[in-house]
Amino acid sequence: MKRWEISSANPVLRPVEIDDSINASDPEMVEFDGKTYIYYSVGDQLTWMNIKRLIYEGSLEEFCEMWYRQAGIEDMGTMAF
């Protein structure tokens, strides 16, 4: 890829609940029966972690498209042209 955009709505995951600690990472997404299930890790990156689940009431395609409704941020990466 020579050109791509990063969603200006990032981050998609972030620690917001008191039991999330400082980290929310490693998402896995699956669509089942018209809903999107997102499993991810939270923790302190040193002594503990937990797995959480979010449910989006729509398809995986709709969920992904939602993050690109706003204008994206061009990212040329580290490649030299």
| Surface-to-core class of residue 17, CB atoms within 10 Å of its CB (0-12 exposed, 13-18 middle, 19+ buried) | exposed
Q: Is the pTM of this model over 0.75?
A: no
Parallel, antiparallel, or unpaired for β 35-43 and 23-32? antiparallel
> What average pLDDT is seen over the chain?
86
Say if residue 63's pLDDT is above 80. yes
Helix or strand (DSSP H, E) at 63: helix 60-66
Residues 68 and 5: beta-carbon distance below 8 Å: yes
